[in-house]
């Protein structure tokens, strides 16, 4: 196993207060000590950064992407992905910035269909393919189909209408 040099960079908008490393550690500059990271209950490590009496909570992988990749938090347009799908592995080499659609298409999630927006609905007696699309963060149901490809076409039609 090779030793990787730990490189520290200021957290954007918290220069002189906090730094984050390429290994996913966070430290207080003033106190010159590592900070304790906490799980958010969904497997991501988080930290609260304080400035002028106010705090903001960040996921550590976002801080790494902000400091090293120039990522700017912008809602769900661009998101930070863990390449190896391990949410606690916040090393720079494991972090990438992708579109929300790319992140949703990554095959780390168990899918029943090869098509985006299509899944096999096993809850109903006669198994059907369900098509849905997310628009502005809201899921829109497009219908049930006997054929997986027909469900895909419904998704593509809805996507092209956006």
Domain boundaries, the chain: 8-104, 110-161
Q: Is pTM beyond 0.85 here?
A: no
- In percent, how much of the chain has pLDDT > 70? 90
**118: Cβ contacts below 8 Å, ≥ 6 apart:** 129, 130, 131, 148, 151, 152, 155
131-134 long-range contacts, Cβ below 8 Å, gap at least 24?
131/155, 131/158, 133/158, 133/159, 134/104
DSSP string across 39-73: E-SSS-EEEEEEETTEEEEEEHHHHHHHHHH----
105-111 long-range contacts, Cβ below 8 Å, gap at least 24?
106/81
Q: Does residue 18 contact residue 49 with C-beta atoms inside 8 Å?
A: yes
**Helix, strand, or coil here: 22?**
coil
Which one, of 124, 113, 107, lies nearest residue 150 by Cα? 113
- Among the listed ranges 34-48, 73-87, 139-153, which one has the minimum average pLDDT value? 73-87
Provide the token pair at 133: 């699309």
**Helix, strand, or coil here: 11?**
coil
Dump pLDDT digits (tens) for 121-136. Answer: 877 666 888 898 888 7
Q: Cα separation of 45 and 110, whole Å?
A: 23
Dump pLDDT digits (tens) for 72-109. Answer: 987 767 889 998 889 999 999 999 998 876 776 654 45
Strands 118-121 and 8-10: unpaired
Q: Cα separation of 116 and 141, whole Å?
A: 13
Q: Does residue 133 contact residue 159 with C-beta atoms inside 8 Å?
A: yes
The fold of 8-104 is Homing Intron 3 (I-Ppo) Encoded Endonuclease; Chain A (3.90.75)
Q: Which CATH class is domain 110-161?
A: alpha beta
């Amino acid at each position: 196993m090779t030793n990787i040099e730990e490189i520290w960079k200021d957290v954007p908008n918290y220069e002189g207060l906090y730094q984050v490393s390429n290994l996913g550690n966070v430290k207080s500059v003033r106190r010159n000590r590592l900070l304790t990271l906490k799980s958010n209950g969904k497997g991501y490590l988080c930290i609260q950064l304080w400035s002028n009496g106010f705090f903001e909570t960040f996921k550590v992988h976002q801080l790494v992407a902000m400091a090293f990749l120039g990522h700017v938090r912008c809602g769900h347009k661009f998101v930070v992905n863990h390449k190896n799908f391990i949410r606690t592995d916040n090393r720079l080499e494991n972090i990438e910035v992708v579109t929300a659609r790319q992140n949703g298409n990554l095959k780390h999630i168990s899918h029943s269909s090869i098509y985006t927006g299509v899944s096999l609905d096993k809850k109903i007696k006669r198994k059907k393919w369900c098509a849905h699309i997310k628009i502005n963060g809201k899921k829109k149901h497009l219908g049930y189909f006997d054929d997986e490809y027909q469900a895909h076409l419904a998704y593509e039609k809805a996507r092209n209408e956006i």
